[in-house]
Amino acid sequence: MTRRFSSHELSFLRNKIPIAHVIEDLLSLPTRNNTGKLSFACPLCKGFDTSINYKHNLARCFECRQNFNPIELVMHQRHTSFVDSVKWLKRHDCKPESKDTSIRDTQGSPPVNIGDILPKILPSLVDQKNTNPSLEAIIERILNLELQVQKLYLLIEKQSSAYQR
Ligand SMILES: [Zn+2]
């Protein structure tokens, strides 16, 4: 038998996909939450004498006296072979896995660090922090302000003359 899956992949599927996620979301097994502890319909006997071992990421049926890891749960519930169950889990697990993100990446651009954006949005702020304002710079700012005031003045005049009409 050829090995289709790396041991890393298999241990990822067994240990890193939360067993409750497999039960509730991926397989949509009927669940009960009576005493604050989640139990699920055993894929073998359909009974609810079950529990979830979060620490070891296993589901257990006390009736069948059997533990199920995520792959085994899929095998029993979907009546699929080991290989098909692993493939199915890989397809349905929506956590981004390093190797398998090519499709998902096209759906949105990756988040960007705010520190990378800010200097582009506020270049003047960043520049001013680094340099002491020289006299020339201050004069330039005053001139700029004067220009702005002049523009505002013209705008107000235009507005008021419009009202007067
Ligand atoms: Zn059972």
pLDDT value, residue 109: 58
Query: Residue 124 and residue 101: Cα distance in Å, rounded?
Result: 38
Alpha carbon of 65 to ligand 1 centroid (Å): 7
Name the CA dihedral angle for 53, 29, 101, 7, rounded to a multiple of 10 degrees. 50
Alpha carbon of 77 to ligand 1 centroid (Å): 11
Largest CA distance in the chain: 92
Who surrounds ion ligand 1 at CB < 5 A? Answer: 42, 44-45, 61, 63-64
Q: Which CATH class is domain 7-101?
A: alpha beta
The domain spans of the chain are 7-101, 121-164
pLDDT value, residue 98: 43
Query: Residue 147 and residue 157: Cα distance in Å, rounded?
Result: 15
Alpha carbon of 3 to ligand 1 centroid (Å): 30
pLDDT value, residue 163: 66
Tokens 């067993």, residue located? 19
Specify the pTM. 0.55
Alpha carbon of 41 to ligand 1 centroid (Å): 8
Instruction: Give, for all 165 residues of the chain, the pLDDT tens digit.
Output: 556 789 999 999 999 999 999 999 999 999 998 778 899 999 999 999 999 999 999 999 999 999 999 999 999 999 999 999 999 999 988 654 444 444 444 445 566 676 776 666 665 555 555 567 788 888 888 888 988 888 888 888 887 777 665
Query: Residue 54 and residue 18: Cα distance in Å, rounded?
Result: 8
